[in-house]
Amino acid sequence: MKEIKAGIKLTKLLLVFIVLGIFVANDRAVLAENVDSQVGVEPDLTDLEFSMSASVADGSSLNEADEIIFTIYYRSLLTYAADFLITTDWEQGLVGGSGSNYIDAMDYVVASATDSPEGTVPVIDLQNRQISWDIEDLPPSVNESVVSYSLRVKNDLPAGNKITVSVESRAKMFNTTWPDEELNYIIQGSLQPSPTPTGVSVTLTPTPTGVSATATPVSVVTNTPGPTITSSPTATPSPTKEAFAIKYVKLNEITSNSARVIFETNEESGFSLFYDEKQKNLENKIEGLDYHKIHAVNITELTANKRYYFKIKVEKKSGQAFWSDLFTFVTASEDGVIPIRKEDIVISSGEMVISSEKTDTLVLVKESPISISVSIAEAERILSISAKFRSTKVLGLNSEAKAPVGETRLVEMLPGVFSGRLLTPSKLDQYELILEIKDKHGAFHIKSVPYRIFVSEAVGVFGEKNKRPVEGAKVEILKYQESFGDFISVGERFALPYETNEKGKLDVNLPSGKYLLKISAHGFKTKEYEMDLGRSIISYPEIFLEKSFSLKAFFLSQRDTLKDVSDFNARNFKIFFSSGRAKQLALLGNVAVIAFFVFVNLLLRRKEKMVLALKPMLIFIHNLLGLLVLLSILFFIRYQDFWGSFLFVVSGLIALSIGFVNIKKIKNRPSSQRQGGKFNV
């Protein structure tokens, strides 16, 4: 009997557990279904708080070397965890006064980007100047989460023009993207060259293949803490020594199977560069055992159209080490690099083309404008193409020239022809002209235009004794033609500036070759100067003329001066009186003159005493204004014909008529006449 009762109790207990199990399973299924239904609904803009601020207010002006810390705030208001992506990027700076001239104005401060509170490591994309935090399962929270990073204004930016830079941040959750948070700044460059470090050489490390990283695992290494947020854009000089760090990291070139990385430390160091397709385990390693400040590393044998990640460890001889952020890039597709031939590139100065297939050297005047055109057969593949000057003598690497317009973005003016204008550098040195090409397949390719380029002072013409500049000296340029075996005048084919300016300078850009310059000036003996440009000399000469005074030469020089002045005035008169705006302005002037003459006429009618006191002045003003109106009528009829300036002529005649009547009335009145105790005029 007891066994039966025990069996019944055990059965009841089993039934209770079965029922509870079914209930829990159903409850979990309902809960999962509920969560799935929530996740399936796209969040809206009210489900996330997202904003960006900076240590320098939006719209502020910045100086070179200023550092700004950007802080991004976010908080999920959803009831469930969701994947969340933050991206922030900074544009190239647009040079003021130009529509297409851009320059890299700000650098990312290496290792300044912080991990997210959820543990996500930032990824730095130098190709697109972008930082991203890809946060898995961002939970709802009552508190804001914060990430930050720093940008530093470059040194030696172009002087004279303001540069505008925009920094943007955005958030994405599922397919919902939040509006961009944008901050804008204005930078004024000073063009003050930074001192070049001494005793620095270059490391071009051969790339080992299949080398595994044997150093401390990358995943457990932490960066040096970033700088503290300050309220001023200008860093306060510290009395202590600058901490060991990487100053910058650049991607110099990316092809379908290689990438070139350049980085600099503030102290001499060796390095280890770890890279891989996987973000968390960088298994390939390249080492640089020599200790330098600037290092250039070629990563080769990569796969086309793949995303790679890399991280750099630099170490001093003392053993002190510094780790960079995690960087990323995407290799180009197999057909990503667009070939450009020498004959596809045309460089011109003014009206003269100075490039050719047989030319290898160009001598350019400093801070002079040149034009460049590039013909590309597959133009539809181009995302952007830019041109810039780079020095060939700085630390053995290519450093960007500090030109008044450091870079120009080429625009497709004709189908397949990309054109733009840029200024030559202000520093006398040897440069190369490079093209930076980005295409839709992901290639970031640098093409060096195959010319040696020397930047020089302009041709100078001076007096032999006093060394004073000779203004207005005539310079005829002749180039030696191999086919003719003689010097042929360049001026027969191209329009060149043939006269020196007030500083005795002649701005002219020429390709290499043999030239003969014939210089003549009033009061000086004519002189010929022969030069082998680009071979024996790589700069334009200073030419000194011997004095040869004569009365004839003196009077001829004065005549030419007067002729220049009269020609200048004639050109300006023609430009002014041929324009529609000038006619509108002159018409308003006629209306003002008519109004003034009518006002004087009313005073005459009211017999004001004031008119008598101002009688001589009023006559003078009427005559002067009448003369100006008459001359304007004649000039407008001369340059815009009678019917083209008909309205102006009519208004001018009305003004002249009223003025003539006023003068006649004023002259016919005695200086004083009393009638009834009042003065009459």
The letter for the amino acid at 94 is: L
Say whether both 317 and 355 belong to one domain.
no
Does any domain span residue 33? no
- AA identity, residue 538: I
Q: How far apart are CA 416 and CA 430, in angstroms?
A: 30
Torsion of CA 581, 587, 590, 591, to 10 degrees: -120
Same domain, 351 and 439: yes
Residues 131 and 180 in one domain: yes
Same domain (yes/no): 349, 304: no
Are 373 and 502 contained in the same domain? no
Domain CATH number, residue 143: 2.60.40.740
- Structural domains of the chain, count: 5
> Quick check: is 31 in a domain?
no
95 has which bridge partners? 163
Using one digit for the tens of pLDDT, what is the confidence trace for 304-340? 889 999 999 999 999 999 999 999 998 887 766 677 8
β-pair partners for 250: 262
**Mean pLDDT over the full length of the chain:** 79
Buried-exposed string 361-387: b where 16+ CB fall within 10 A, e elsewhere:
bbbbbbbbebbbbbbbeebeebeebbb
Q: What is the token pair recorded at 510?
A: 């020429």
Give per-residue pLDDT as tens, 359-418.
Answer: 889 999 998 889 999 998 878 888 888 888 887 754 444 444 444 456 788 888 888 899
Tell me: pLDDT of 347 over 60.
yes
Q: 596 and 653 in one domain? A: yes
Q: Are 226 and 112 in contact (CB under 8 A)?
A: yes
pLDDT single digits (tens) 16-71: 566 556 554 555 444 444 444 444 567 888 889 999 999 999 999 998 889 999 99
In a domain, 368, yes or no: yes
Instruction: Select from 422, 455, 488 the last residue of a domain.
Output: 455
Q: Which residues pair with 572 in a beta bridge?
A: none
**pLDDT, tens digit, for every residue of 202-219?**
333 333 333 333 333 333
Same domain, 495 and 594: no
pLDDT of residue 607: 62
Query: Are residues 128 and 171 located together in one domain of the fold?
Result: yes
Residue type for position 607: K
pLDDT digits (tens, 9 = 90+) for 229-255: 333 344 444 456 789 999 999 987 888
Same domain, 57 and 75: yes
Q: Say how far apart CA 382 and CA 447 lie, in whole Å.
A: 14
Q: 477-486: long-range contacts at Cβ-Cβ below 8 A with a sequence spacing of 24 or more?
A: 477/508, 477/510, 477/515, 477/516, 477/517, 478/515, 478/516, 478/517, 478/518, 479/513, 479/514, 479/515, 479/516, 480/513, 480/514, 480/515, 480/516
Q: Are strands 259-276 and 246-254 parallel, antiparallel or unpaired?
A: antiparallel
The continuous run of DSSP H or E covering 307 comes out as: strand 307-315
Residue 473 belongs to some domain of the structure: yes
Q: How do strand 361-365 and strand 452-456 relate by DSSP bridges? A: parallel
Do 450 and 462 reside in the same domain of the chain?
no
Whether residue 79 contacts residue 38, with contact meaning beta carbons closer than 8 Å, is answered with yes
Contact 636, 586 (CB under 8 A): yes
Q: How far apart are CA 300 and CA 332, in angstroms?
A: 13
Q: Is residue 363 part of a domain?
A: yes
Residue 162: both structure tokens together:
């303001």
Read off the DSSP letter of residue 111: T
Residue 113 located in a structural domain: yes
Whether 293 maps to a domain, the answer reads yes
Cβ neighbours of residue 642 closer than 8 Å, sequence gap 6 or more: 649
Alpha-carbon distance 316 to 405, whole Å?
37
Q: Are residues 440 and 468 in the same domain?
A: no
Residues of the chain with pLDDT > 70: what percent? Answer: 74
Q: Is residue 639 part of a domain?
A: yes
Residue 681 pLDDT grade (very low, low, confident, very high; cuts 50, 70, 90):
very low
For the purposes of burial, counting CB atoms within 10 Å of the CB of 471, is it exposed (0-12), middle (13-18) or buried (19 or more)? middle
We report the CATH number of the domain holding residue 480 as 2.60.40.1120
**pLDDT 10s digits, 103-157:** 788 999 999 999 999 999 999 998 889 999 999 999 998 899 999 999 999 887 7
Q: Are residues 591 and 669 in the same domain?
A: yes
Q: How many Cβ atoms sit within 10 Å of the Cβ of residue 514? A: 17
Q: Which segment of 212-216, 268-272, 285-289 scores lowest on mean pLDDT?
A: 212-216
Domain assignment of residue 123, given as a range: 45-188
